[in-house]
Chains A and B, each alone.
Chain A
Amino acid sequence: DQQVKQNSPSLSVQEGRISILNCDYTNSMFDYFLWYKKYPAEGPTFLISISSIKDKNEDGRFTVFLNKSAKHLSLHIVPSQPGDSAVYFCAASAGTGNQFYFGTGTSLTVIP
């Protein structure tokens, strides 16, 4: 049972434009969400997180939006750069000390 879903396996965006990666979840107990970026032959790298008490969190070019009523979060990258080309995973957790549930990933390609 996939509690965190990323329905777009891949996304292509022109350099300089906005990249929007989406993630849906089913468990209403999730209260902490994270995005990871993964390059080939490397482990995932933490990118940005958001707590359920917020609906937006920004860090430089990266912004995560959380819509709790829709059980949906998105990652916006503006402007997109070729170095952003990677697989992006969203993850969710219900409370401290509990496991993280990961989505299946979205492969982002930023075209120069």
Chain B
Amino acid sequence: KAGVTQTPRYLIKTRGQQVTLSCSPISGHRSVSWYQQTPGQGLQFLFEYFSETQRNKGNFPGRFSGRQFSNSRSEMNVSTLELGDSALYLCASRTGTSALVDEQFFGPGTRLTVL
């Protein structure tokens, strides 16, 4: 079974620009979550999508948005980029439908550098 894939793997942008990151979950997984990882901050939760609807949301400004398509693929968009947005952005998928809590499977991440 193919794992979670993220594109692109690396991205360099300048302040004020916007960026779109893509995530393809494991086949059959309907939940996709996005995280930001920065040194010393661990993994900060951005949002989770399930069946094209945002199910959970973290404490990030409105510049960070996402969406999910009918095939469960998800995109994350960051507008008006700031230097502090430089981070590794991780996507994780899970079935999302289990009666029990099911673990997430992570993609390799997209390294975003804002200059």
Contact = CB atoms under 8 A, between A and B. Distances in A.
Nearest to B48: A99
B84 interface: no
Interface stretch (A12-20, A59-67, A73-81, A90-98): A90-98
Contacts of A101: 45
Size band of the interface chain A makes with B: 20 to 34
Interface in A87-111: 89, 91, 93, 95-105
A45 interface: yes
B12 interface: no
Given A41-B108, A43-B108, A102-B35, A96 B41 contact: no
B51 to A, nearest CB: 12
Given A43-B106, A44-B43, A102-B45, A96 B98 contact: yes
B43 A102 contact: yes
Interface string B10-33: 000000000000000000000001
Nearest to A96: B101
Nearest to B46: A99
A99 B106 contact: no
Contacts of A44: 43, 90, 106
Given A31-B101, A103-B42, 14 more contacts: A6-B42, A42-B109, A46-B103, A51-B101, A96-B100, A99-B33, A99-B45, A100-B33, A100-B45, A102-B42, A102-B43, A102-B45, A104-B41, A105-B42
Interface of B: 4, 33, 35, 40-45, 48, 50, 55-56, 58, 90, 92, 96, 98-101, 103-109
